[in-house]
Structure 1
């Protein structure tokens, strides 16, 4: 009994027990794990990356380099993540027709499966924001009023109060948000395309992004609502004040002149 007790108190006893537990856990996992499914998923992912690399070589490597390292005509794509690819290619901005201060939105030339393959290849070059799921960007149940406050604090300086867009410096513009999907708005906030700053989850949590998306879909696009009446182009209080001064004050001045003229005429007669 004394010998057994001494062995239990040996300094290496805990290490031996830990190694035995790890070996037993690994053995059980090897026996019961769905190896076929895991292998199939790995194979499918590898094939997608291979196809994405082929698409990249044809449509993107001219500007971004054969390995995505960048060139004088395009930035490095190492570490930008799959979400940036899904946004840029999914909105038609990439591949670009020609270099410029800002790449405009145009017709999408790739299918969604091809975009996913491109995104998978770029993601394999370096870690970055992944393509969000529908539960991450869905505005269902979001707080529209809070989204409006967040939008006016963080976005209206460039995109205008109702997401109509506006001019920036050096020939750049903030695009209109009319008709932009919830996924692409979320990805733009995550990745910060072109002149836009990035708003990662550490800066702006998913819930706040959903609130902003809900607000944008309320005031911009085909189903936009203008609770205050005529939106006047959605250009904000400056245009509305200018409208009031030009037309409102102009009408009052014209009425005052008309009254004065007729009063003077009546006195003469």
Structure 2
């Protein structure tokens, strides 16, 4: 016991324990983490990955956002926007923008996912910001769809309408259609708040509630739930439905009233 106690007090004992803990942690991560994903993340965040991202940035982004991401009159600063913002904007094809305007539309991506990861790593090195989420963070598996619908109607439907079909805003801006948008990009949009959208960090909307919203959008836009009662009227809710009822419903009633009045008058004459 005295010998063991003496070894514990050895000056190198703490270092040995630390090295052992690091070795165990690294071994468990290598054994349990998906190999391809772990390798991709390590490559993107490595000095070489950041350097590759810097080269891509200089060619495709610096003219608008500045050589160091500080921003210009043609584009905002990228310092502190985080890797998630880059993955969303470039992954959905919104960046690089074709031309300035009230809002940059979605279009086919110009970069591969590897190149996007490098760009994201470089922008992340300019200042801390939201990271690219893992699949576990945005996967709708076991999420509460009903709660997601309530959260979406409370926080999002004012712009996107209650099924996520989008809608017009002011000054030529609009809330985009969310049908077909990947769960990862929906999660990143909530975290980063692109363009006219407010951001919803975990302090405002916890990760579990973001997953509930993603699950709700996946459900209302699935093939099984599309207009089970008939024509969807664009999925815009009471505005288009009320207009349809007013134009066609009231029109039919007026036509019926005119027909009855004419028929009654004809019967009286005879």
Q: How does 1:18-33 map to 2 (within 5 A)?
A: 23-30=12-19, 33=22
Tell me, which stretches of 5 or more residues in structure 1 are unaligned?
Answer: 1-16
Question: Are 1:189 and 2:190 matched, yes or no?
Answer: yes
Tell me, which stretches of 5 or more residues in structure 2 are unaligned?
Answer: 1-5, 31-38
Distance 1:62 1:229, change over 3 A: same
User: How many pairs align?
Assistant: 251
Question: Are 1:57 and 2:46 matched, yes or no?
Answer: no
Query: Whole-Å Cα distance in 2 between the matches of residues 22 and 184 of structure 1?
Result: 50
Which residue does 1:247 correspond to in 2? 248
Query: Whole-Å Cα distance in 1 between the matches of residues 10 and 142 of structure 2?
Result: 47
Which residue does 2:135 correspond to in 1? 134
Query: Whole-Å Cα distance in 2 between the matches of residues 173 and 221 of structure 1?
Result: 23
8 Å contact from structure 1 (residues 219, 226) kept in 2: no
In the TM superposition, residue 219 of structure 1 has moved relative to its aligned partner by: 2.4
Q: Report the secondary structure of 1:132's partner residue.
A: coil
**TM, length-normalised to structure 2:** 0.84
Query: Whole-Å Cα distance in 2 between the matches of residues 31 and 219 of structure 1?
Result: 50
Which residue does 1:202 correspond to in 2? 203
Query: Whole-Å Cα distance in 2 between the matches of residues 178 and 197 of structure 1?
Result: 20
Please report the RMSD computed on the Cα atoms of aligned residues, expressed in angstroms.
Answer: 2.7
Distance 1:134 1:111, change over 3 A: same
Cα-to-partner distance string for 1:136-159 (whole Å, 9 max, x where unaligned): 111122222221111111111111
**TM, length-normalised to structure 1:** 0.84
Q: Over alpha carbons, which structure has the higher Rg?
A: 1
Which residue does 1:68 correspond to in 2? 69
In the TM superposition, residue 92 of structure 1 has moved relative to its aligned partner by: 0.2
In the TM superposition, residue 267 of structure 1 has moved relative to its aligned partner by: 2.4
Q: Report the secondary structure of 1:158's partner residue.
A: helix
